[in-house]
Chain A
Amino acid sequence: MITDNLTIETAAVSAETVPSAAGRLLGAHMPTSGGVYKALVSGKAIGCSAVQLFTSSPRQWNSPLIKDADAAAFHKAREETGIEVAVAHDSYLINLAAPTEEVLVKSQNAFRGELDRAEQLKLSWVVTHMGAHLDQGEDEAFERLIASLKHILEATDDAGYNVGIALETTAGQGTGLGWRFEQLGRVLDGVGDHPRLGICLDTCHIFVAGYDIRTEETYEQTFAEFEAAVGIRRLKVIHANDAKKPLGCRVDRHEHIGQGEIGREAFARLVTDPRLLSVPIIIETPESDTMHAVNLALLRSMAAGSGPELNITVHLFGHYTDVLGGVPVELTLPAGATVRDAAALLAARDARLERLAEHCRFAIDEEYAALDAALLDGCTVAALPPMSGG
């Protein structure tokens, strides 16, 4: 069959190719209502090459294994969509550092269930938060967490599992563990260098936990600290989320990419960072139904732009024709720039274009586009004042 040949060729090529930012793994947390396979199908539809999903209800303690038919549908969808990486996020209830025996055992059992289901679906990683000490002593909590992880890793090693555990950096809300890089390092070292144990870095969480990544300097500083305390080689999954709340506030509220406190520059740097090209990046931004596609497209354009710049052509119409003599303007903008940025750049060039963004509707490549729409390298933008045809 032709499709089979294609799949094989693609695999052979990608094995020899150095990972590039343009082809980097990008995706989103996708819903599973209607079956776990739906996460892959709907993910593919919005351009995911990686997907994160819940393998059961995230607010429920005990979940059965995935039914054989559902697992088979998932594997089939995996082949059809070609989604390269799929990971799970565990239940919010699980606390592998819980101070009471009852919750601890319940958590360990539930987490084993997470790994069982993930293994059934051949997922690469189960992302989990590191639990909370609940004011019963932080050191003891770390000991319990390390013991829980050792126990679960040993048991699943014996069972021949491939799925790994990715401990997620947290926002430092309440008594949550894992909001300082040193704490992650402490757990990894405590468990021992286990190949099935890694880290998931969430940009919103680390930012509100106090790690700035907004400029080149702060980004590099933060990753230097991560390298020292954890090691970038242990980084297995990245959650790309902007933050609604400011640096260091320890309040976790996700925002659309580029529209929060972190801002666009950090994400453009993240998706093109040569040290991170093999790490899947997953968004968990709000209004997933409508905005996942937009946020993904933005990250994709940032990755494709690679170079920090994109070149566009702008056509102005109506009375704006007179301002620039009726000729199109060439603009250079940073990767990830939007229509609004292009309008702002023109406004800065000529005071007569100051109200362009409010006064005009815009089109990208002859289709109407919102002010927040991401620009692609080589695209044509048109500024369309109120029309008067007819």
Chain B
Amino acid sequence: MPFAVMSDSPIDVRLLEAQVSTAANGAVCTFIGQVRENSRGRQVSYLEYNAYVPMAVKQMTRIAAEAEAKWGCLVAIQHRIGRIELAEASVVICVGSPHRAEAFEACRWCIDTLKETVPIWKREVCPDGAFWIEGEDALSAAPRAAGP
């Protein structure tokens, strides 16, 4: 069963790994995407993730199910929205499979596909302003009335 959730609180990596860590699986591969202090030369204070939540959950579930069918593995995906501080995880993907090759491959495919098809956008908040990141573009963002 694919597992895909969206949350606004920190991701518990151990809990997510437990979803795919069955006795049949000799390998669990976990990818953690986390907030970097530097983005294309800009100093980043923190990130704010926005999503079209119902569609994003559908798309993540679809990705997990497709990977499970293709690589014969178990997949759990969690993405965070809202304000995320430096070095905190924004996304975690766990893949459990009998052998490591499938786990690595499926994990890589899941994160690559997620970036392409799951409707989530980040807003980089920097000391000198905020930017919407849309693919390769960084577009000046309106300041928020009150930060969390």
Nearest chain A CB to B139 CB, angstrom units: 4
Identify the closest chain B residue to A384 (Cβ).
B119
Chain B residues closer than 8 Å to A387, beta-carbon distance: 115-121, 134-135
Chain A residues closer than 8 Å to B58, beta-carbon distance: 366-367
Q: Is A385 within 8 A of B55, CB to CB? A: no
Per the 8 Å Cβ criterion, residues 363-390 of A in contact with B are 363, 366-367, 382, 384-390
Q: Is B135 within 8 A of A390, CB to CB? A: no
Q: Which of A3-11, A129-137, A146-154, A311-319 contacts B (4 or more CB under 8 A)?
A: A311-319
Q: Is A388 within 8 A of B134, CB to CB? A: yes
Chain B residues closer than 8 Å to A385, beta-carbon distance: 121, 134-135
- CA A367 – CA B61 in complex, angstroms? 13
Is B104 interfacial (CB-CB < 8 Å)?
Answer: no
26 A/B residue pairs, CB under 8 Å, sorted by A: A317-B52, A318-B121, A318-B134, A319-B132, A321-B132, A363-B52, A363-B55, A363-B119, A366-B52, A366-B54, A367-B55, A382-B52, A385-B121, A385-B134, A386-B134, A387-B115, A387-B134, A388-B115, A389-B56, A389-B90, A389-B91, A389-B119, A390-B33, A390-B91, A390-B111, A390-B120
Contact of B55 among A318, A322, A382, A388 (CB under 8 A): A382
Chain A residues closer than 8 Å to B141, beta-carbon distance: 319, 322
SS class of chain A's interface: helix, strand, loop or mixed?
loop
Chain A residues closer than 8 Å to B135, beta-carbon distance: 385-388
- CA A363 – CA B134 in complex, angstroms? 17
Per the 8 Å Cβ criterion, residues 98-148 of B in contact with A are 111, 114-122, 132-137, 139-142
Per the 8 Å Cβ criterion, residues 309-349 of A in contact with B are 315, 317-319, 321-322
How many chain B residues touch A (CB < 8 A): the figure is: 32
Chain A residues closer than 8 Å to B121, beta-carbon distance: 317-318, 385, 387-389
> 4 closest pairs, A vs B, by CB?
A389-B120, A386-B135, A319-B132, A366-B55
Q: What 0/1 pattern do residues 48 to 62 of B give for CB contact below 8 A with A?
A: 011110111010000
Identify the closest chain B residue to A359 (Cβ).
B134
- CA A384 – CA B132 in complex, angstroms? 13
Q: Is B137 within 8 A of A389, CB to CB? A: no
Identify the closest chain B residue to A321 (Cβ).
B50
Chain A residues closer than 8 Å to B116, beta-carbon distance: 387
- CA A156 – CA B146 in complex, angstroms? 83
- CA A386 – CA B119 in complex, angstroms? 9
Chain B residues closer than 8 Å to A388, beta-carbon distance: 115, 120-122, 133-135
Q: Is B139 within 8 A of A319, CB to CB? A: yes
Q: Is A389 within 8 A of B134, CB to CB? A: no
- CA A267 – CA B105 in complex, angstroms? 50
Chain B residues closer than 8 Å to A382, beta-carbon distance: 52, 55, 119
Identify the closest chain B residue to A325 (Cβ).
B142
- CA A87 – CA B5 in complex, angstroms? 51
- List 4 extra interface pairs beyond A319-B139, A385-B134, CB under 8 A: A366-B55, A382-B52, A384-B119, A389-B118
- CA A388 – CA B132 in complex, angstroms? 9
- CA A319 – CA B50 in complex, angstroms? 11
Nearest chain A CB to B48 CB, angstrom units: 11
Identify the closest chain A residue to B140 (Cβ).
A319
Q: Is B79 within 8 A of A389, CB to CB? A: yes
Contact of A317 among B50, B114, B115, B139 (CB under 8 A): B50
Q: Is B122 within 8 A of A389, CB to CB? A: yes
Nearest chain B CB to A236 CB, angstrom units: 45
Chain B residues closer than 8 Å to A317, beta-carbon distance: 50, 52, 119, 121
- CA A317 – CA B132 in complex, angstroms? 10
Q: Is B33 within 8 A of A318, CB to CB? A: no
Chain A residues closer than 8 Å to B136, beta-carbon distance: 386
Residue from A386, A389, A390 with most neighbouring chain B CB atoms (10 Å): A389
Identify the closest chain A residue to B33 (Cβ).
A390
Nearest chain A CB to B119 CB, angstrom units: 5
- CA A319 – CA B58 in complex, angstroms? 23
Nearest chain A CB to B16 CB, angstrom units: 16
- CA A363 – CA B62 in complex, angstroms? 15
Per the 8 Å Cβ criterion, residues 21-56 of B in contact with A are 33, 49-52, 54-56
Residue from A319, A366, A387 with most neighbouring chain B CB atoms (10 Å): A387
Chain A residues closer than 8 Å to B49, beta-carbon distance: 389
Knowing A318-B134, A366-B58, say if A389 contacts B139 (CB, 8 Å): no
